[in-house]
Amino acid sequence: MFVSVSGLDGYCTVNAQCKPHINKAQCSSDNKCVCIAKHKMHKYNDGTRLCIPTAEHIAEAKKTPVDPVMIAILVSLVLMFLIICIVLQLFSK
């Protein structure tokens, strides 16, 4: 079965028509190609329309999550190092 390709704001019946792998678009419930969540349509001077990430989405991607488990492991390693140093100091005398 052949499915015709549609651009943004074009008519569609399935997601494949909106080129989701290239354009980050999907077919909406009203049979129109729209950008996926956290993306917005940008129209270039040559008439090309593409979905680009929103500023909030880019800022979210740049954040580095701090894992509380990793912090607990690091603190426990530091404590273990200090305890070993104290014990070695005691037995060296």
Q: What is the mean pLDDT of residues 78-88?
A: 95
Residue 75, pLDDT score: 97
Q: What are the start-end ranges of the H helices in the chain?
A: 20-23, 55-62, 68-91
Domain edges within the chain: 15-61, 64-91
Non-local CB neighbours of 33 within 8 Å, separated by 6+ positions = 6, 7, 8, 9, 10, 11, 12, 17, 18, 25, 26, 27
Return the residue matching tokens 């190092």: 81
Please tell me which residue, 74 or 57, carries the higher pLDDT value: 74
Claim: this prediction has a pTM higher than 0.75: no
Q: What is the mean pLDDT of residues 41-51?
A: 83
Residues in the chain: 93
Residue 79, pLDDT score: 97
For 22-39, the pLDDT digits (tens) are 678 888 888 888 888 888
